Structure 1
Amino acid sequence: MTASIRDVRPDDPSDAESVVRVLRAALPFSITSAEGLSFELSCAHPAKHHRILVAEGPDGRVIGAARAGIAYDSPEPGRSYLNTYVDPAHRGLGAGRLLLRAAEEHLAAHGAVDTYAWVLDEPAHRAFAERHGYRPRRSAHFLRLDLAAVTLPEPPRDGDLPAGVELRPGSAFAADPRPLFEADAEATADEPGDVATELDDYEDWLAHVWNNPTLDKELTTVALVDGVVASFTAAQTDGATRYGSAMTGTLRAFRGRGLAKLAKTVSLHRARAAGYTEAFTGNDAGNDPMLAINEWFGYEICATETRFTKTLETL
């Protein structure tokens, strides 16, 4: 017997919990929650055609999931993303193959030409991707920090900060987050990757980034220089024990001053004080500056994934 495929039921809390269980089993380095998953579906831009599929085993248990959609914020038309996850305890039932097929058909129906998928750098995962016509591109690392045990750098005191530098939580921008949007847009444009991203829609950013329940605005930390946003580290949490760096960036005019280290130091201290015991982040394998910063904090690579791509024109 094989698995069966359907859409996730966004109004069914138990369905969201089942998908989160699969994601945590298949990708234990990710920050995910049922609330965040429901938000992901409800706030997705219409042009994204975002879809979460689930695979059910013969007994009706959710054993796999897939996220798929159009990269609507890319300046290159026809780009899309597709990521599949199968609970390691339930492989061999065809869930991955069926999820992949259904997601590819969905993307092709909405004009996708190329799709990109993250694949764990393990022989079985890579072989699966290559069997289905995917070819490897660039790699990225997951990094983990044991917040409960690590000795963090001392947080800076106000009097120790460089002249004109101020550190604030993201919540300080609640009344007007636009400066953070502009900083995120510039940092994202410079981030290495296969699919270029342009953040040029403030309302859309508010809807799916700023209002995302996994974004912890108190742990998010912003460095200002003479009152201008210069660097930031955005923090995600699962509301339990896991903290994740969603994005750390410094505007071009302020790079080389150690501002990202200052912001991240404060954020990590706040996270530990709030009871978080594990910190995770991800870096492109070619992003040497951020890899060096994270290694300086004590992060260690815990897994590597490769982005595979496939042309969908023949579907």
Structure 2
Amino acid sequence: MTVIVRALSADAPRAAADDAGFAAVRRACVPAMLATPASVAFDRAQAHPDSGYRQLIAEVDGEIIGTAQVGLAYDSPEPGQGFANVYVHPERLGRGAGTLLLRTAEEYLAGAGAQTVYSWVLDSPANLAFAARHGYAARRSAHFLRLDLAHGTLPPREAPPAGVELVSGSVFADDARPFFALDAETVADEPSDVAAEFTDYEHWLAETWHHPLVSRELTTVALVDGVPAAFSLARADGAGRYASGMTGTARAHRGRGLAKAAKNDSLHRAREAGYTEAFTGNDAGNEPMLAINKWFGYEICDTEVRHVRTLG
């Protein structure tokens, strides 16, 4: 059976089925990464023009068995960096889909001016060996963590510190600039191989704030004197699964437990809304957030290793 790789497009005759198949493969490979047909279509439509973002699928006889997210790190101060994250359905391995997806992605990135390619690889012997065979060197690791909201025990809600107010992200529905400023500051300090900067508010609105998986109602923001000081951005798939999109604190307010308070409040909001599973992710070296998540009762459910290859 021949494997065919092609890029997703809103104009394709099977666009809806393609988006559904793409999301299904992602859920099968990495359950902690929320994906729905609507989010797949949204990510493609709202990608920044400078990112060159592409969604690739590998299919056999019309069945989608693998996916790749490919693009350029347009928001990095260092030019020439690309990414290619490849996933093949665990029940469809050994057909060459991963190799063909990666080759297609690398050829596209090279043509777009990328000099290095970063890729997240699941931490399993087979996946790590695949990356090594294709010339990728391991870098940092990141963990996915899961919390059983339906049967686990959340720490009780506690009153925030004096002068701090916990509010829903929906407070910023009409003007999200204060939230954007806080998100940009925390992202700049996030451990990563590829530095990122948020400077385009309008694009952030389109790509993040209006994303179909983002729940403003379940998001919690800690205000200090009416100004956002910490937050926990909530993502939800509408089918019982909740994920922390980002949790962070402004530099001037770190060390006060505000991120923990915001995340606890957001998790309680999610459980009260009927969500049964909560997921989050942390860089393996981010000990403060790993400690906070352990306190909540999260357990590591999967690990990915960032790999890099120089094109030449």
Q: Please indicate the TM-score interval, normalised by the length of the shorter structure.
A: over 0.9
> Which residue, out of 104, 107, 116, partners 2:106?
104
| Corresponding position of 1:299 | 298
Shift of 1:21: 1.0
Contact preservation (8 Å) 2:168, 2:216: yes
Distance 1:304 1:90 in 2: 21
SS in 2 for 1:167: strand
Contact 1:169-1:221 at 8 Å conserved across structures:
yes
Residue 13 of structure 1 is matched in structure 2 by 16
1:188 partner SS: helix
Indicate which of 19, 36, 41 corresponds to 2:39. Answer: 36
Provide the C-alpha distance between the structure 2 equivalents of 1:254 and 1:150, rounded to a whole number of angstroms.
30
In the alignment, what sits opposite 1:86? 88
Look up the SS of the partner of 2:2 in the other structure: coil
Aligned to 2:2: 2
3-state SS in 2 of match to 1:218: strand
- Encode CA deviations 1:156-205: one digit per residue, 9 max, x unaligned: 3xxx3322110111110011100111001110011101000011111111
SS state at 2:274 partner: coil
For the residues of structure 1 that align with 2:32 and 2:188, how far apart are their CA atoms? Answer: 25
Tell me, what secondary structure is at the counterpart of 1:172? helix
Contact 2:32 2:243 in 1 (8 A): no
Preserved contact between residue 233 and residue 247 of structure 2 (Cα < 8 Å): yes
2:62 corresponds to: 60
Runs of 4+ in 1 over 4 A off after TM superposition: none
* Aligned-partner residue type, residue 296 of structure 1: W
Mapping of residues 229-248 of structure 1, within 5 Å: 229-248=228-247
The separation in 2 between residues aligned to 1:2 and 1:100, in whole angstroms, is 16
Deviation at 1:81, TM superposition (A): 1.0
Give me the whole-angstrom Cα distance separating, in 1, the residues matched to 2:137 and 2:165.
45
User: Counterparts of 1:20 and 1:161 in 2: how far apart (Å)?
Assistant: 38
Task: List runs of 5+ in structure 2 lacking aligned partners.
Answer: none
- Map residues 203-222 of structure 1 onto 2, 5 A cutoff: 203-222=202-221
SS in 1 for 2:268: helix
Contact 1:2–1:95 under 8 Å retained in 2: no
| Alpha-carbon distance in 2 for matches of 1:172, 1:67 | 33
Task: Give 3-state SS (helix, strand or coil) of 1:168's partner.
Answer: strand
- Aligned counterpart, 2:150: 148
> What is the match of residue 71 of structure 2?
69
In the alignment, is the contact (CA less than 8 A) between 2:84 and 2:119 conserved in 1? yes
1:9–1:16 Cα contact (<8 Å) kept: no
Counting only pairs closer than 5 Å after superposition, residues 111-122 of structure 1 correspond to structure 2 as: 111-122=113-124
Q: Letter of the 1:302 partner, please give it.
A: C
Q: Which TM-score applies when normalising by structure 1?
A: 0.96
- Aligned equivalents of 1:240, 1:210: Cα separation in 2: 20
Does residue 25 of structure 2 align to residue 26 of structure 1?
no
- Structure 1 residue 89, shift from structure 2 partner: 1.0
C-alpha RMSD of the superposition: 0.9
How far apart are residue 212 of structure 1 and its match? 0.6
Alignment partner of 2:214: what SS? coil
Match of 1:47 among 42, 47, 50: 50
